[in-house]
Amino acid sequence: MNLLKKEPVKRVEQILKTFDPKQSLLVLETSARTAKDAASSLGCEVGAIVKSLLFKTGDTYTLCLVAGDKKVSLNKTKKILNIKDVSMASAENVKNITGFTIGGVSPIGHLNDLSVIIDNSLERFENLYAAAGHPNCVFKINYINLQKITSGMIKDIVE
C-alpha cells in the first residue's frame, strides 16, 4: 500500500499543506522509527530529528518535541507545568490520544488537542525532520515554523 494514502499520514499532510502549500512529505526506504534510524536514513545529525513524546501530565497529556540527541527532563517539565506527576504515556494511550503509533507520532495532526512544549535546543539546526504519521514518513521544517504550526511553548525541557 502507498504510505501516503494511510489515514494518519494524510492527516499530517493536510495540516502541513494548509500551513504551507509548498511543504511535502518524504517517504523513506528505511525506517525512521527511532531518531538514530531517521538520521541515518536522511543523512543528518541525530539532533535534527524531532522526537514527539507524549507525557501524562496530571489529568491530561502534553506533547514534548525534543531533539533526537536529547532526553526530556521530567523535573523541568513538572516545574514548567507546575504539577507533581509527569510520566511517559503508554503505547495504548499514545495511539488513543494522538492517533499515531509509536515511531510515527507527528508534532501535528493529533486526534485530540494537546499542549505542546518545544525543546529550545532544536533551534541550533537549520532544518528539522519530524515524523509524519508512519515510521517511514517524515517532513522537513525549520524551528520557527515548527513553533508556528504546533503553537508550541518553547522551553528548556531537556537533561
What average pLDDT is seen over the chain?
95
Helix (H, G, I), strand (E, B) or coil at 149: helix
Q: What is the pLDDT of residue 1?
A: 56
Neighbours of 30 (CB within 10 A): 12
Residue 147 confidence (pLDDT) above 60: yes
Q: What is the pLDDT of residue 2?
A: 85
Residues 6+ apart with CB under 8 A from 39: 45, 46, 48, 49, 68
Q: Concatenated DSSP letters for 105-116? A: --SS--SS--EE
User: Does pTM surpass 0.85?
Assistant: yes
Task: Dump pLDDT digits (tens) for 42-91.
Answer: 999 999 999 999 999 988 999 999 999 999 999 999 999 999 999 999 99
Average pLDDT, integer, range 87-115: 96
Task: Dump pLDDT digits (tens) for 112-137.
Answer: 999 999 999 999 999 999 999 999 99
Count of domains for the chain? 1
Domain that holds residue 46: 3-155
> Which CATH number characterizes residue 16's domain?
3.90.960.10
